[in-house]
A = this chain, B = another copy of it.
Amino acid sequence: MTRSPSSNAELALLLEVAATPTPGNVDRCTDHPTLRFEHFLAGAVGARPGLERAERTGVIGAAFRDAIAGMADQRGGNTQFGALLLVIPLLVAAKRAAMHTTGLTAITQSTTVTDAIAFYRAFEYVDVLVGDPPRDAPDLDVRRGEQAAPALRSTGTTLADVMAMAASHDDVAREWTSGFERSFHAADLIDRATGSALERGAYAHLRLLSDRPDTLIATKYGEDVAISVQQRAQSTVQTNGDPQQLAEWLVEQEYNPGATADILVAGYLIALERGLQV
């Protein structure tokens, strides 16, 4: 029996949190004070009905909202919001045998105002750290939740438009506007690595962290901090250093590269669909 795209999506969420070390993030060997491993397990299981809805219907917004509502049924708070925003279009693409840049662009570009409204509603289930909205569009602040619906309708803003507004400062949104470029890169890193499925993810996480400043860290602590984290990761890669040391420093500073984790989940899903064995 082969795993369905929604099963692979859920497994991708679980593999990401189990891979270790993924410096700065919760993993098989690391808990944060109020965000623990089991919250991610429950988050992945809870998201499942939303994932299945995406597979069954191909509708992005409502499936995402369901996935977030289910994910939020644990006490850790936001575990996999960004990851699910990548995983849902990816699994729809997998279902349609269209898991490539063109296929994904078609899927994201076909999202509607209704998808955007469902996306905004998802913010009512869980606190998500996001940047400020564009200055000329304060009515479209995602933190307004469903109250933003009239503004979305009157401006004809689709979910793809919402992502385009955030792409400059949010690497999850950027995937939506770039044909999931870094998600495919993450899958390549997983494919290229050696060892078990979890060891491959740890390798990919470190490489992704050294590639670009993590945008969740940038939103929380500023661009300079995000760049300093990237530089430490680069130095770990270049000197073949111990990622555990990097992990300890990140945990001490409470810097968690959450956007990088989201990209890694997307990479795992693509790799599983390509045949990664667990």
Q: Which residues of A contact B (CB under 8 A)?
A: 1-4, 7, 10-11, 14-15, 18, 28-29, 36-39, 41-42, 45-46, 48-49, 66, 69-70, 72-75, 196-198, 277-278
Contact check, B73 vs A41: say whether CB atoms are below 8 A apart: no
Min CB distance A124 to B, Å, is 12
What CA separation (Å) do A14 and B41 show in the bound complex?
7
Task: For A3, give its contact among B2, B37, B73 (CB under 8 Å).
Answer: B73
Q: Which of A1, A36, A46 has the most CB of B within 10 A?
A: A1
Known: A38-B196, A198-B37. A3 touches B278 (CB 8 A): no
- Do A45 and B14 form a contact, CB below 8 Å, given A28-B28, A38-B278, A197-B38? yes
A-B pairs, top 5 by smallest CB distance, nearest first, are A1-B69, A42-B278, A14-B41, A11-B45, A74-B278
* A14 cross-chain contacts in B, Cβ below 8 A: 14, 41, 45
* B73 pairs with A39, CB closer than 8 A: no
Chain B residues whose CB sits within 8 angstroms of the CB of A70 once the complex forms:
1, 3, 7
A185 to chain B, nearest CB (A): 22
Q: Which residues from B are CB-within-8-Å of A2?
A: 73
- 11 contacting pairs across A/B (C-beta < 8 A): A1-B73, A3-B42, A3-B45, A7-B49, A11-B41, A11-B45, A18-B41, A28-B29, A28-B37, A39-B278, A74-B278
Contact partners of A48 in chain B: CB under 8 A: 7, 10, 48
B15 touches A46 (CB 8 A): no
Contact at B45–A277, with CB atoms within 8 Å?
no
A235 to chain B, nearest CB (A): 29
Q: A18 CA to B73 CA in the complex, in Å?
A: 19
Chain B nearest CB, measured from A274 CB (Å): 16
Determine whether the beta carbon of B18 is less than 8 Å from that of A277.
no
Q: Smallest CB-CB separation from A76: which chain B residue?
A: B278
Q: How far is the CB of A70 from the nearest CB of chain B, in Å?
A: 5
Q: Which residues of B contact A41 (CB under 8 A)?
A: 11, 14-15, 18, 278
- Tell me the complex Cα distance, A105–B38, Å: 32
Chain B hits for A1, CB < 8 A? 46, 49, 66, 69-70, 72-73
In the complex, how many angstroms separate the beta carbon of A51 from the nearest chain B beta carbon?
Answer: 10
With a cutoff of 8 Å between Cβ atoms, the chain B residues found around residue A36 in the complex are: 196, 198
CA of A38 to CA of B19, assembled, Å:
9
**Distance to closest chain B CB from A122 (angstroms):** 12
Could you say which residues of chain B place their CB within 8 Å of the CB of A15? 38, 41
CB distance from A201 to the nearest CB of B (A): 9
Check B38 against A198 for contact (C-beta < 8 Å): yes
List 5 extra interface pairs beyond A1-B66, A15-B38, CB under 8 A: A1-B69, A3-B45, A3-B46, A29-B29, A75-B277
